[in-house]
Structure 1
Amino acid sequence: MPCPDFDRRQIVAALGGLALAPLAPLAANAQAFTPGQPIKVLIGVPAGGTQDVLTRAIAEQVRDTLGPLIVDNRSGAAGRIAVEAVKTAPPDGRTLLLGTASMMTMFPSAYRQLSYDPIKDFVPIVNAARFELALVVHKDVPANTLAEFIGWAKAQGDKLSFASYGAGTPSHFLGEMLNRAAGLKMVHVPYRGSTPARQDVMGGSVPVYFDTVGGAQQMLPSGRVKVLATSGEKRSPLMPNLPCFVESGYKDVVATAWFAYYAPLKTPQPIVDKLRAEITRAINTREVRQQLLQNGMYPVADNSEALLKTMREDTARWAGIMKAVNFQAND
């Protein structure tokens, strides 16, 4: 999944698509978005992460048109608590989900008994942002390049562990893909979110961590970690001096992920259209784009049809990877 290029043509295309939304029904349902009536956005991880950054940045731009967007962090069960809460919420546009690639495309293959269907139980609104991941190591790891790391990691055998920000996430499977591609035996250590994993890799409790590019950028100034490679199909514009795994000879070690907004099933179409129009407008503002790029995310603003296509393609891809590594999450 290559990271998209973002230019004037993409912005024009995204905004142009909004003209297709029916204007009369929007006006008829405008009372549902009177400023002062908050919209809760449920996020399945603890506060302080990039998902909060994304939603708060958008909230600043839609306050006068949609009302306040309130971040509601519902961490636990790898984010499934938040998903289930939105599934059963009233379909009035006042409770939304910030869904991740993990929740909406990986978990259907990871869990034998998933309590929701990402496609059948939700209304997709807009794919907001995409991001890549990076290989982060503690400063004491005796490697300054990916090749040096591979050589060192092979010598460690199964005594070397790597952290992820959660089992069954892109962070987890990037490590597993590198294991398979490079013949490594690193042992997976899942964390409950990125914050504790970052603390431990900076502290040296775990030597290797696969983080988002944005998270890796935040840790670098500490001087406690090194970043050795990124996971897109080409170099990350945010870390252009670092190679990606693909150019280093590991063509199958590719992992990008995304954040998208969803409403409960049966949310009226005019409300969905209004939400999509305003969130898309916000994403395409200079202020939001700058904040996303500064935090390692690329603005996307895909419509619901494009989001559904991404979901189906990613679901099939991750299912194949999970089968290859024989992964099954604990229900």
Structure 2
Amino acid sequence: MDKQHSAKVAQEPGFARRDFLGGLGALGAVGALGALASPSARAQDFPSKPIRVLIGVPAGGTQDVLTRALADSMRDSLGTVILDNRGGAAGRIAVDVVKNAEPDGHTLLLGTAGMMTMFPNAYPKLSYDPMKDFAPIVNAASFELAMVVNQNVPANTLPEFIAWAKTQGDKVSFASYGAGTPSHFLGEMLNRAAGLKMVHVPYRGSTPARQDVMGGTVPVYFDTVGGAITMQPTGRIKVLATSGARRSPPMPAIPTFTELGYPDVIASAWFSFYAPVKTPEPVLRKLRAEFLKAVNTREVRQQLLVNGMYPVGDGPDALRKTMTEDTARWGKIMRAVGFQATD
């Protein structure tokens, strides 16, 4: 009987531990007890196969840039790290895959502020609890957002856009990279602050939203600063404002909503990494050490900054604190706009 089958049998109703040990005999009993201690044993040899990182959006976005940069930096210590893009349900599909994965450290989640702090406020029957179902590894990077409009929108500044949008009523739509995400609520904040009636159009990730705003299918998109940077060279979009308290270093010529007279239109978000909650602590310690080392390398930090992200490197305690504070903050905003997800 192999270890995997033994574990399954041990979970079946009516199974008696003494029968299991007795049936195997003395040597079998030693092997069975070794299997019970296998999490620690496996931790000593971790990783024993490629590590898979679930990303809740289609390939090609800012999350890929971050994960690939870290994977390249950690190749010598952790071996192969595979990016597994699982778009759909605003990232909840990827979250559920990791939640139900074997807790051995080989399946990880790239968590977003939306997944881990906004969705608990947005979805009345969320299939996971961010605090109870996952072991935090590291808060790797933070970022701001940018308001992007198609080149044919008759406005080159935020005041010009607001004046134009007010003449259009609810005929102006804005894209987000998912309902209940910072991208979505930045648009809602601008609606409230400027008295607009833009209609929200949620997408399954940033890549299709970028394609449609560049193509003119939607006139407005609230993207990450890094995403806006990638679109600028095409000449098919204009960036009107960014969402930070200060101007974004990668886009110093673009004013913030705050300096343009909208101090309540401010938002930042982050990317962090998680393992399933029952992952052995020795494995988590190794993952945390390697992720933190990678985030603090000169090469990774430079790559993040070029792509509109700020290296963070917070450990599990600081990340839990951030999650708690952001959950309360986004909940207040959602209640103010009367939002509740329905899908």
- Common fold, TM-score beyond 0.5? yes
Q: How far apart are the structure 1 equivalents of 2:300 and 2:111?
A: 19
Q: TM-score, normalised by structure 2?
A: 0.86
SS in 2 for 1:124: strand
Query: Can you give the 5+ residue segments of structure 1 that lack an aligned partner in the other structure?
Result: 1-25
Shift of 1:180: 0.2
Shift of 1:33: 2.5
SS in 2 for 1:33: coil
1:106 corresponds to: 118
Shift of 1:29: 3.7
SS in 2 for 1:57: helix
State whether residues 90 and 177 of structure 2, in contact with CA within 8 Å, keep that contact through their aligned partners in structure 1: no
Q: How far apart are the structure 1 equivalents of 2:80 and 2:286?
A: 15
State whether residues 33 and 65 of structure 1, in contact with CA within 8 Å, keep that contact through their aligned partners in structure 2: no
State whether residues 118 and 330 of structure 2, in contact with CA within 8 Å, keep that contact through their aligned partners in structure 1: yes
Q: How far apart are the structure 1 equivalents of 2:94 and 2:214?
A: 29
State whether residues 156 and 240 of structure 2, in contact with CA within 8 Å, keep that contact through their aligned partners in structure 1: yes
Q: How far apart are the structure 2 equivalents of 1:273 and 1:50?
A: 26
SS in 2 for 1:106: helix
Q: How far apart are the structure 1 equivalents of 2:87 and 2:176?
A: 16
2:240 corresponds to: 228
Decide which of 122, 132, 147 is 1:120's aligned counterpart. 132
Question: Which residue identity is paired with 2:124?
Answer: R
SS in 2 for 1:133: strand
1:32 corresponds to: 46
1:82 corresponds to: 94
Shift of 1:27: 11
For the pair 1:314 / 2:326, whether they are aligned, the reply is yes
Question: Which residue identity is paired with 2:285?
Answer: D
Q: How far apart are the structure 2 equivalents of 1:203 and 1:302?
A: 38
State whether residues 137 and 288 of structure 2, in contact with CA within 8 Å, keep that contact through their aligned partners in structure 1: yes
Shift of 1:28: 9.4
For the pair 1:159 / 2:176, whether they are aligned, the reply is no
Cα RMSD (Å): 1.6
Question: Which residue identity is paired with 1:301?
Answer: G
SS in 1 for 2:46: helix
Q: How far apart are the structure 1 equivalents of 2:41 and 2:74?
A: 17
1:208 corresponds to: 220
Shift of 1:131: 0.8
Shift of 1:195: 1.2
Shift of 1:54: 1.0
For the pair 1:148 / 2:160, whether they are aligned, the reply is yes
1:188 corresponds to: 200
State whether residues 150 and 238 of structure 2, in contact with CA within 8 Å, keep that contact through their aligned partners in structure 1: yes
Decide which of 51, 55, 63 is 2:67's aligned counterpart. 55
1:248 corresponds to: 260
Decide which of 246, 256, 269 is 1:257's aligned counterpart. 269
CA deviation map 1:36-87 (0-9, x unaligned): x211111111111111111111111111211211111122221111111111
Larger gyration radius, structure 1 or structure 2 = 2
1:266 corresponds to: 278
1:11 corresponds to: none
1:281 corresponds to: 293
Question: Which residue identity is paired with 1:33?
Answer: P
1:12 corresponds to: none
SS in 1 for 2:214: helix
Question: Which residue identity is paired with 1:182?
Answer: A
Decide which of 317, 322, 336 is 1:305's aligned counterpart. 317
Shift of 1:305: 0.7
Shift of 1:150: 1.2
2:53 corresponds to: 41
Relative to 1, partners in 2 of residues 1:249 and 1:136: Cα closer, same or farther, differing over 3 Å? same
CA deviation map 1:96-126 (0-9, x unaligned): 1000111000000110100100001110000
Query: Can you give the 5+ residue segments of structure 2 that lack an aligned partner in the other structure?
Result: 1-39
Q: How far apart are the structure 1 equivalents of 2:318 and 2:282?
A: 19
Shift of 1:289: 1.1
